[in-house]
Chains A and B, each alone.
Chain A
Amino acid sequence: MQLLGLGIEMAALFIGFGLLIGIPFGFFGMGGSFLVTPALLVVGYPAPVAVGSGLAFVFGTSVIGALRHRDHGQVSYPLAAVMILGMTVGIEVGTRVVFLLAKAGSADFVISVVYVGLLVAVGLFVLRDARSDGTDVGRGRIATVVQAITLPPMVSLPGGATVSVWVLLAVGSGIGVLSGCLGVGGGFLLLPIMVYGFGIPTAIAAGTSILQISVSGAFGTFVYAQSNAVDVSVVAALLVGSALGARIGTSATRLVNEADIKGYFAGLLLAGGIATASKQMGAAYGVGTLETVSAVLLSGTAVLVSGAIVTASINALRKNRELGLPY
């Protein structure tokens, strides 16, 4: 029996995995796509298809997210327009790099290594952020450096800062290259850059970054689909799960303090890095156990983080009910 063009077991697996990814995405506003490409690599899809399908998944998920943020007036359109321009150029460059690497036969290895590096780096950053009290002096320093570049034309941003258009284009291009190479939306980089570098309020930064990601995701999907490197069945199944998960995650933000769960999210990113490295080593040295470890680690931590968010939400609902508060 076929469901969404996949065998019933594979369809159920991808819908379930989408659900597990959607909950943290809805809750943290980032990280939804970061595990899809490694997961597809772990399952055995070739690197260009894993990246292309990852981008198509990012596109679908971020369209849903952008619609929700638009309803709340949390989008800065001028900022999104300039950065989308930079990201579009970057994605084109990143895509060419992937296909060049694929021709040379080293795409899987290079993409996996870059993934491991990024997942570990961002995981450690989030872990550090989770352990600090939010008064990091370094953040202010970054904003000062970025806003000191006064090459015209300048753009006024929500939050009061004025930033050079060239800075926005450069940042957009850099994130676009990563998107094109790795099949990620870039929210895990865009969000901190907007908040700490441009001084934009978090809610507007999240809404604007999701809008940018949806446009750049559409472009990335188009570029990869031209080479038939998007598995529509996998994307469709993942979206069915992630759209529901994202709703659950978004609702949980009204009940649970993000700081209480941030440590789990850092663990999810670090586990993603270890899983990708484990899979690559297993394939290189022919050790099947390492590939199994990789799959178990990836799905296990996703279950753990989603479970932590859902459990904390249910506990908060019960507490509100006991206290006679609206729930």
Chain B
Amino acid sequence: MSDHDDESAAVLWQSSTLQIILMSTMMMMSLDVLFVTPASNGPELAAATVGFVLAEALMLYVGYGALARIASPSARELLTRA
């Protein structure tokens, strides 16, 4: 593999990571507004908090799973060559 390929792999990995993190952050903010903000008292707030954490966990599981599939081979290649 050439240096150019290494560089492309690094750029691909970095942009994928950045995209996932940015998307996660934006989704978090939306989930916060959807779940937690409207609930103001005890049980409602508690259920909304549990829902928010569960939704975030599921989203991160799926998001990082996709990231791992896309970026793992390039990351491994980079780490073993560096």
**Inter-subunit contact B29/A4 (CB<8 Å):** yes
CB-defined contacts of A235 to chain B, threshold 8 Å:
53
Please, which residues of chain A bring their CB within 8 A of the CB of B18?
A: none
Residue in B32, B52, B57, B68 with the greatest tally of chain A CB atoms within 10 Å: B57
Main secondary structure of the interface of A (DSSP, over half): helix
Chain B interface, DSSP helix/strand/loop, else mixed: helix
Band of interface residues on B: 20 to 34
Interface size class of A (residues with CB under 8 A): 20 to 34
A225 near B: Cβ within 8 Å?
yes
A225-244 vs B, CB cutoff 8 Å, 1 = contact: the mask equals: 11110101101100110011
Residue A275 at the B interface, CB < 8 A? Answer: no
Which residue of chain B has the shortest Cβ distance to A228 in the bound complex? B45
**Residue contact A240 to B53, C-beta cutoff 8 Å:** no
Among A61, A233, A247, A317, contact of B57 (Cβ-Cβ < 8 Å): A61
Smallest beta-carbon distance A256→chain B, Å:
14
A218 at interface by CB-CB < 8 Å: yes
Which listed residue, A5, A60, A225, A247, touches B54 by the CB 8 Å rule? A60
Question: Residues of B with Cβ closer than 8 Å to A?
Answer: 21, 24-25, 28-29, 32, 36, 42-43, 45-50, 52-54, 56-58, 60-61, 64, 68, 76, 79-80
9 contacts between A and B (CB under 8 A): A5-B32, A59-B54, A61-B57, A64-B61, A221-B46, A221-B50, A223-B46, A226-B45, A232-B32
